[in-house]
Amino acid sequence: MQHAPGFLDIVNEAKTRVSEIDADTLESWITQNKSFVLIDVREQSEFADGAIAKAIHISKGVIERDIEKTIFDKSVPLVLYCSGGFRSVLAADNIQKMGYSAVWSLTGGSKNWLTTGREFSQK
């Protein structure tokens, strides 16, 4: 998919403020039972087709509205992902602005997760 230049501009700007985590690191955090919350910011229909194990769903369209109702402690580590790593960067940028202090976006999103030999758990 070819993204619009304006969209890529705001994603690239957000990336200057957002930390990213790669699939290997995320997998090791999951395996080690590291304390963090994994948030799938894709649309509900995408999430319903499968997601990374242990992920909760809060779509990008409502994350700013709902994050404080779901994750009360703003110091809890959060890893966000979408399909390609663009929407999750934008969502991570916004929730950092809301005071969440330990936020990462999965580099390359779920597409990278899957193409590197990992699987989704079925919902």
Domain ranges of the chain: 5-115
pLDDT per residue as tens digits for the range 34-82 = 999 999 999 999 999 999 999 999 999 999 999 999 999 999 999 999 9
Catalytic residue among 38, 58, 82, 89: 82
82 is catalytic: yes
Residue 121: band (very low, low, confident or very high) from pLDDT cuts 50, 70, 90 = confident
**CATH number of the structural domain 5-115:** 3.40.250.10
Residue 123: band (very low, low, confident or very high) from pLDDT cuts 50, 70, 90 = low
Between CA 75 and CA 5 the distance in angstroms is: 34
Evaluate if pTM is beyond 0.85: yes
